[in-house]
Each structure stands twice: as structure tokens, then as C-alpha cells.
Amino acid sequence: MHIHILGICGTFMGSLAVLAKELGHRVTGSDANVYPPMSTQLEAQGIELTQGYEPSQLEPAPDLVVIGNALSRGNPAVEYVLNKGLPYVSGPQWLADHVLQGRWVLAAAGTHGKTTTSSMLAWVLEHAGMSPGFLIGGVPQNFGISARLGGTPFFVVEADEYDSAFFDKRSKFVHYRPRTAILNNLEFDHADIFPDLAAIERQFHHLVRTVPGEGLIIHPESETALKRVIGMGCWTPVQTTGDGGQWQAKLLSPDGSRFEVIFDGAVQGVVEWELTGKHNVNNALATLAAARHVGVLPKQGAEALSEFRSVKRRMEKVAEVNGVTIYDDFAHHPTAIATTLDGLRKRVGDTPIIAVVEPRSNSMKLGAHREGLAESVALADQAIWYAPANLGWDLAATVAGSPVPTTVCDSLEAIIAKVKADAVPGTQVVVMSNGGFGGLHGQLAAALA
């Protein structure tokens, strides 16, 4: 079967393409923005990519068109599909029908940490010899690929609350029917499709409704929004993590790079890894709870996490030039920015940290997270903000009250000049964006060299 994917370079759709190819289909795709890591992964898989959405890409007609949620009515390719009556489906629906049927699905949902947690879980199961399938919205470095079918009934999926397609406004995760569900945390996000937090809580409750009575739901004890979700009705056993929960961590180093795992009051093992931050410790507890549900002993899981190598673009060290370290990080929400910097600060002590932030997500472009932005960089020594001409709101005014020295730049050249002027040997430069940021990381490294 020839499957053409519209929006193929999104992290979810790119992963879907890999699975479709592994199932033996001929897979092609198109996207408006083609950039790594998805573009390079797809090329390595021999999947043909086209830039743009010309209807001519759909001639001769493919057997099926999978339409990504970034595409809407008015898009030339979408209009062509509808006018010609070509068969089409959303990505989550295709995944549910062709990959997840009959499998034990383990889903990681939440505002933050989905990619990292699903990567951890897939690795823990792999380490235990369970050869899971997975679909992850990023590239876990232990696997070097974002998706695979796997050789057993177990399948780990990053479960996103974003909508499925222009013709299906349900959250993607409603399609997945998990038996084991991690709910990491819940904050307001995706202001382009959700009016308020209550609307997102309602979608999370739709997910809870699909988990069987013999399944398991895992969430942090401290998350009040998730408690409200569970309070709407829950028919599944629940385990809790973090302070006051059944699964707890005792930090053996302040940056979270070493900690004891405690379940029901008993020490299960020690995790010693290269990750930092309380948020990753919490991700690890949820992972171990989910893995235990499918038979992996917590001690065995802790040993696996000690060999976990994180995900591309999650505090990924991309260069070290003349003593200056450059990280690529996906953080694009004030909470994620703050927790990422907290983990790094606890690791490097008084070493200078420069945070470079691009407000690029749809919620950021709508100004939904303006309130928390100025404070989110408090643990850096200085912050450099990128304000492109089309941002639509006054970034400089928003971050003017920041507790650290702040610069707002309207070009990559200005950012590079500022970092070059201020970075001394030992400086940690964290570049935060949920996009390619115009290849800033490489340009910075070249300029510093």
C-alpha cells in the first residue's frame, strides 16, 4: 500500500512513517518545514520527502493519506484530498487501527516530560529483554530511532493531549486505549486549541475512561489538576509518585543525578545517571511504576535507568568550544524552562549559565505563557530572548522585570554576538526552542571557535 503523510516532519508523524515503512508499506510525505532530527531520520529510513503542499504530490493518487494535525482547511493538499475523494485518516486513528490493536499499550501523558518518560520506559523494558515497540516524539539516544514495531505485545507510546486532526478535535491519546497510563503532570498549554485548564482536564478524563479495570494509572501525589481528573471518575487502580506517594525518591546528590527508589516504604534500588533535575527524578518514579506493572522488578528498572542516555534535544550537549558548553533543549513552557535550569544549576554550582530562549510554540505565539516567562530564567546568570518580527506581542516589556540581566534580540546574528561577547571558559549556554531555531547551535559553536 502507498501511504502519503501530510505533515511528515512533525515528531509524531515522522515516527508514524517509520512504523508504516516497517509494516511493509511504501511511504512518502510532505511538510512545510523540513528540519532535523525528523528529516534526517526519515532520509536514513529511505522515506521520500517533499517540501511544501502541492497537490501534484498526490498524483498518482496514494492508497491512503494520513493527515497531520498541523494541517487545516484551505491547505492546497487537504483541499485536493477532499475534492478528489481520496481515502484519508488522522495519525492517531491509523496508529490505533494498524499498530496498537491487541497490544499492551503503556502510555505516557502530561504537559511536561512525555518524551523523556516514554523513552525511559521503552529502555527499561528493552533492558529487561521485553523488546517493546514504541512511538516517541523525539529520538531516544539508547535506540537512535523514534519508533519501531517491536517483537512482543508491549508497546510504549508518547500520549499527547493535542488534537488529532482538523476533522477530529479529540486529543490524540483518546485513540490509544492504554492498559498502563502515566499522567505526569497537568498545566495550561496549547492555548490555540484549549480555552482553559478545565478543557484539558476534561480530555485527560476521557483518557482515564479508556483504561481498563485491570490496568494501572500512575500520577504524582502533588498534582492537584490530576486529582481533579481522577475525581471525575476512575475505574482503575491508581499508584502515586513523589512526596506523600507510594513511589518516592531519596536524593543522594542535590542535582538528582543519584537517588534511592522507595516503594511502599522499602528501598528498591539506586539510580545513578547523567540526567539532572527533580523533574527527571519524578519521570523515573513513574517509569518504574509502569514497568513494574508489566513485570519488571524495580531494582532491575533502576539498573536500566542508570544506563539511560536521554533524548535528543533534551539538555543534549551539542558542542564544547574553548571551554564553553552548548546544550540544545526543547523547553518552551515557563515551568519546563525553570525546571531545566534548576537541574543544571544544581549540577554546575556557581558556573555562569546563559539561557537563550525562542518563544516559538503556538501557545507562546499567542502570549498564553507571558506571565511566567520573566521568572522562569531566574536560575540563569543572564537570559537572551529571541523576538522575531512576527511575534505579535511585546516580548521586551514582558521580560523587563526579569530577576537576571536580560537582552532581547531580533536576529540570530545579534544573539551570537551577545553570547560571544559574554561567554568565558566554563560558561554553560542553554538554547531552548521547540523548533530548529535556524541552526543557531551550530552557528554559535562556529562563532565561538
Do the domains spanning 102-305 and 316-448 agree at the CATH topology level?
A: no
Q: Over 90: is that where the pLDDT of 288 sits?
A: yes
Q: Where are the domains of the chain?
A: 2-90, 102-305, 316-448
Q: What is the pLDDT of residue 245?
A: 96
What's the average model confidence in pLDDT over 101-125?
95
Binding-site positions read: 110-116
Residue from 100, 111, 234, 92 nearest 156 by CA: 100
Considering only 87-101, 154-168, 211-225, 340-354, which range has the smallest mean pLDDT? 340-354
Domain 2-90 in this protein, CATH class? alpha beta
- What is the band of 330 on the pLDDT scale with cuts at 50, 70, 90? confident
Binding-site positions for ATP read: 110-116
What's the average model confidence in pLDDT over 44-51?
92
Q: Report the chain's mean pLDDT, rounded to a whole number.
A: 92
How would CATH label the architecture of 102-305?
A: 3-Layer(aba) Sandwich (3.40)
pLDDT digit string, tens, across residues 132-179? 999 998 889 999 999 999 999 999 999 999 899 999 999 999 999 999
Tell me the three state secondary structure of residue 404.
coil
Q: What is the pLDDT of residue 447?
A: 86
Tell me the three state secondary structure of residue 90.
strand
- What is the band of 368 on the pLDDT scale with cuts at 50, 70, 90? low
- What is the band of 221 on the pLDDT scale with cuts at 50, 70, 90? very high
Tell me the three state secondary structure of residue 352.
coil
Angle between helix 114-127 and helix 278-293 axes, rounded to 10 deg: 50
What percent of the chain has a predicted confidence (pLDDT) above 70?
98
Classify domain 316-448 at the CATH topology level. Protein-Tyrosine Phosphatase; Chain A (3.90.190)
CB neighbours of residue 221 within 10 Å: 16
Integer Cα distance of 239 and 180 in angstroms = 11
Q: Over 70: is that where the pLDDT of 366 sits?
A: no
| Model pTM score | 0.82
Q: Over 90: is that where the pLDDT of 227 sits?
A: yes
pLDDT digit string, tens, across residues 189-219? 766 777 888 999 999 999 999 999 999 999 9
Q: Which residues pair with 355 in a beta bridge?
A: 383, 430
Q: What is the pLDDT of residue 370?
A: 77
Q: Would you give the DSSP letter of residue 238? A: E
Q: What is the pLDDT of residue 191?
A: 66
